[in-house]
Structure 1
Amino acid sequence: MTALWLAVLLASAACFALKLAGHLLPRHRLAEPRVARTAALVTVALLAALVAVQTATDGGRIVLDARVPALAVAAVALALRAPFVVVVVLAAATAAGLRLLGMP
């Protein structure tokens, strides 16, 4: 248990240091096109990884359950430019309907 708390504290300190470094960098460094493009791509990659992990894994193993079709419905709704609330409701209704039909 102590090792876990030590890891949490070290990760928190690293996150704080990274955030502080971002505030200490001069603005002209952050305004460079290459830095801005990289920051935008990293944000998209992290969000995609989070969605993939939360959608297709359970306890460290890959699972294909009602969340996958729900994500597909949400992607189609987003592609059709549906409002965010509609996207969330459609995805939730899809997952709920499939679970009602017996899909895990």
Structure 2
Amino acid sequence: MSSGTDLVVATAVLGAGTFAFRFAGPVLRSRVALPARAERLLTVAVVVLLAALVATSALTDAHSFAGPARPAGVAVGALCAWRKAPFLVVVLAAAATTAALRLLGMP
């Protein structure tokens, strides 16, 4: 078991490292030039990572399939967002869809 001091030191070190990474970006931006192809690939990589995060969150719960209610709610939310509905409407429609399907007995 770690002591409280170890936890504080570890938190401070992680905080300092995070700050250093965030500070290095703007400082090194003018000194490091990426090729245009690498910048395009990084842009695509961001979209792919976000899509993977959404898919993982929408489809799984504790390393197993979350059931059809959650993906249906995400699909309704995505449809509302695609139709340019206000954010509150997107969230409420997704939550209402998931809740209604679970109320009807769908896991």
1:48 to partner: Cα distance = 1.1
Q: TM-score, length-normalised on structure 1?
A: 0.69
Kindly state the Cα deviation for residue 35 of structure 1 after the two structures are TM-superposed.
Answer: 4.9
Q: Please give the per-residue CA displacement for 1:39-85, whole angstroms capped at 9, x wherever unaligned.
A: 43232222211111111111112333311000111111122111111
Offset, 1:17:
5.1
Secondary structure of the structure 2 residue equivalent to 1:81: coil
Q: Which residue of 1 aligns with 2:106?
A: 103
- What is the DSSP-based 3-state SS (H/G/I as helix, E as strand, rest coil) of the residue aligned with 1:25? helix
Unaligned runs of 5+ in 2: none
Structure 1: distance between partners of 2:91 and 2:105: 21
1:19 and 1:34, CA in 2 relative to 1: closer, same or farther beyond 3 A? farther
Deviation at 1:23, TM superposition (A): 2.9
| Preserved contact between residue 67 and residue 106 of structure 2 (Cα < 8 Å) | no
Alpha-carbon RMSD? 2.9
- Aligned equivalent of 2:85, options 75, 82, 87: 82
Matched, 1:45 2:45: no
Deviation at 1:97, TM superposition (A): 0.5
Are 2:60 and 1:57 equivalent residues in the alignment? yes
Aligned residues: 100
> Are the structure 2 counterparts of residues 60 and 101 from structure 1 closer, same or farther at C-alpha, using a change threshold of 3 Å?
same
Q: Which runs of 5+ in 1 are unaligned?
A: none
Q: How does 1:19-30 map to 2 (within 5 A)?
A: 19-27=22-30, 29=32
Q: Counterparts of 2:54 and 2:63 in 1: how far apart (Å)?
A: 15
Q: % of aligned pairs identical? A: 42
